[in-house]
Structure 1
Amino acid sequence: MDHTLDATLDPIWDTVDRLNTWLDENRTLPAQQEVLLRILKLSEEVGEVAQAVVGATGQNPRKGHTHTWRDVESELCDVVLTAMVALRTLTPDAPEVFAAHLRKVAARSLTLPTAHK
């Protein structure tokens, strides 16, 4: 099994662990409630992606162009990071859980025959 991807993600997961610890140290609610709120935070972040896309395309006639595609990129990164922190909050084995799931999705998706054009 190729562990190149796992090794590449190690520093990322180290940062996710540090963020998770920081959030834990600063929580004001019971642990189980914090878990739920960290998962719900994803909805907020996805909404910010949608808002940025609308702003980047100027689809709100009242507001016009309020965002750039760089803003959309940044918001998508926030979604990914928020999901990683939420996963780490659920399990200390988040890196292994994520890697196993990524391998499963890749095996399922990347081995499919491509559609005829």
Structure 2
Amino acid sequence: MEPFWAVVVGIMFGAGIYLMLRRNLSKLILGLILISNAANMLIMTSAGLTRDAPPMIAAGKETLTGTYADPLPQALVLTAIVIGFGVLAYFLTLLQGAYKSNKSENLDRLGGGAS
């Protein structure tokens, strides 16, 4: 099942880069979202997808026995999701301000310099 997710992550990275290369601010933001989600999926799948028991030490034992799901990638992805949401909210605010001031999402018109 992991090779399938590797292909999905690759497609998401490719689509995100394609969208970020467009000259439209909203497509740039969508590309950023895709790349962020692809990176989160990459971290989760690189840790190994398991349906085993949670990493809880049983009563009376000192170490974990058998296979278990690694909690570190899950914590990293949860943190990345929260940070990604904050960055997305910031960029959407910038998009709204840029559209109000320039009436355009075209990145060539947002430069403000000599045209």
Shared fold (TM-score, shorter chain, > 0.5) = no
TM-score by length of 2: 0.36
TM-score by length of 1: 0.36
The structure with the larger Rg is 2
